[in-house]
Structure 1
């Protein structure tokens, strides 16, 4: 893809320039979820400069993607300028899809800028068009943004409504990135009022995030888990998580605090974690967290260090089908794929496929984690 983009920005011809726009805009999700925000902006800037500037939907998409990456890196002035250019082009095109894409990008700018009410209005404004088009990728991204903005404004029922729709769509299609974002968004919204539920949501989000090695979203989850740890007087754990979150976010040139409205929680967490053990111990624990790799930081947050079993806390709406619940229960009983196939009168390949789907949906890497999760769900139902 890099070679193709290099070709598009160096070869003469408008066809090559237009192809560069399409490639760069299509790679937006890859850049965002793999911590390549700077590289994404580099290529988007280059293909946009190479393009004639004619009002095309591809240019609107590229401008909107560039604006979003800029916003996540805190470059709000550049992001706003890109959104304004995209809006002008969309109006000239008279294209409803292009207008919805710009409106969504504007919502993301408002969100990372802390204007939650405007973010809600923008996300709401784009929803109808994405539904009408059947554009599920744009739709679930918009719903996640609306979920986070609504939740942070205290509209938990609206946030829950968005989450349920996101989980339903992602479960049907086996998608994990936006599913992780949705679980994390609700965790950020409820952490003050329900530590246990927030921890479960954030931990499940981390498990899914680990599947694609998404450092920015992992940093946001680690940061929120640090707030919960500090609130529960687990000061050293909070300090380690703060350090890990800061280090991961720095690798992508962003912040561990997803929305500026949450900065007060970060500051209070740091004060609390520093107060009891003292500055020297706090700083040492922060450095310990900063030195962690992505995998080690996630494992620490999930209590998977030293070979201990992960905490299987997962939001109760796991998105499993009835058959997948049956298979998960049999995995928990210790049955092999062959034994599951015999018991449920399935082919062995079908049973194996069900186990893999369950693992992906729950963000797990082993059958043992599935078994531990089923056990936890059963215990919760009894309580």
Structure 2
């Protein structure tokens, strides 16, 4: 069940939840390896990689290799190759990542493992693109898009549109890159996938900077950073792309000045998932409820009190105990706060409370 839930956890950015369950299961596992157990280790390692916890990712890959050292099961070995490839990809070792993914793809092809095969095709397309092998990247990513469109799949579709956008942008086709990134954002909104939305917002910020629109770039970078914090990740998780983020921020700061950049970046941070995508798609200007002067007045007195407790790091049960209310009532308050402020996580609520406190001081 945990292995099957990975695609949901990953698409929603629920890395902490997924890793917590898989860590608990690891402590209970015994006996000879099974394919599902190896898949679970693969999933746990990928979530660790996405949160830049490469030490944990490495330990999980090593555990999987040890577990399958004596097996002749080709599928188990191929899954471990995938895990090793993802670790190499997030570590910036594109050559090693490519080798592992190509080995895994050969094992998955023709065996009915469509989900695993699609995931490896996407990973290879991304690796080729990051390596500057644009033609190969386009070939593999378009194969993924054909599969996802045929079966109505949206998660790998949104990821592949982002990777394809990055590849063609680096090739110099900026207009097509923007179209692809916007299509990716449309899909990520449909499945509420923050991780790929973060990646698209970052890429569109780089393009805005390139097009000499530093204010828009700052808002987009802020939106990406805010959403990334909400899922316990970084805005850019591939080391081969970090330089674009750094260059964009440096140029935007130089043109706008530190104070104006910080203001625009803060507007982006406060947008929330839906508003950030709407802004990126030019559906409305950056005027999130969280930055309006009357944002806090939309919360009741009790909701403002609960928001303060969220900022202290309290769970729903702890909030219920503190306020002498039922856990269900506490949960209802939390849900109303998230809805009214346009947020998707408790982390965003905590950041909002901190911002309100700074403004009042």
**Common fold: TM-score over 0.5:** yes
Equivalence for 2:56? 78
The correspondence for 1:305, drawn from 273, 277, 284, is 284
Write out aligned runs for 1:227-306 (5 A): 227-305=206-284
Q: Distance in 2 between matches of 1:103 and 1:94?
A: 14
Q: Distance in 2 between matches of 1:151 and 1:44?
A: 31
Equivalence for 1:370? none
**For residues 24-78 of structure 1, what are the alpha-carbon distances to aligned partners after superposition, in whole Å with 9 as ceiling and x for unaligned?**
1111111100110011000000011111253222221111111110010111111
Equivalence for 2:97? 119
Query: For the Cα contact (< 8 Å) 2:226–2:272, is it kept in 1?
Result: no
Matched, 1:221 2:197: no
Q: Helix, strand or coil for the counterpart of 2:70?
A: helix
The correspondence for 2:29, drawn from 51, 56, 62, is 51
Give the Å deviation of 1:300: 0.4
Equivalence for 1:137? 115
Structure 1 residue runs without a partner (length 5+): 1-22, 307-383
For the aligned residue pairs, the C-alpha RMSD in angstroms reads: 1.3
Equivalence for 2:150? 172
Mean CA deviation greater in 127-136 or 204-213: 127-136
Q: Helix, strand or coil for the counterpart of 1:93?
A: coil
Q: Give me the TM-score of the superposition, normalised by structure 1.
A: 0.73
Give the Å deviation of 1:239: 0.1
Q: Distance in 1 between matches of 2:209 and 2:202?
A: 11
Matched, 1:27 2:15: no
Q: Distance in 1 between matches of 2:2 and 2:31?
A: 15
Q: Distance in 2 between matches of 1:154 and 1:61?
A: 30
Structure 2 residue runs without a partner (length 5+): 286-361
Query: For the Cα contact (< 8 Å) 1:55–1:92, is it kept in 2?
Result: no
Q: Deviating runs (4+, > 3 A) in structure 1?
A: none
Query: For the Cα contact (< 8 Å) 2:61–2:80, is it kept in 1?
Result: yes
Matched, 1:196 2:181: no
Q: Distance in 1 between matches of 2:31 and 2:83?
A: 19
Q: Distance in 2 between matches of 1:258 and 1:303?
A: 26
Equivalence for 1:152? 130
Mean CA deviation greater in 99-108 or 89-98: 89-98
Query: For the Cα contact (< 8 Å) 1:41–1:66, is it kept in 2?
Result: yes
Q: Helix, strand or coil for the counterpart of 1:54?
A: coil
Q: Helix, strand or coil for the counterpart of 2:235?
A: coil
Query: For the Cα contact (< 8 Å) 2:225–2:235, is it kept in 1?
Result: yes
Q: Distance in 1 between matches of 2:150 and 2:258?
A: 49
Give the Å deviation of 1:128: 1.5
**For residues 75-114 of structure 1, what are the alpha-carbon distances to aligned partners after superposition, in whole Å with 9 as ceiling and x for unaligned?**
1111111111112222322111111111111111111111
Q: Distance in 2 between matches of 1:124 and 1:257?
A: 25
Q: Distance in 2 between matches of 1:280 and 1:237?
A: 15
Write out aligned runs for 1:98-109 (5 A): 98-109=76-87
Query: For the Cα contact (< 8 Å) 2:3–2:43, is it kept in 1?
Result: yes
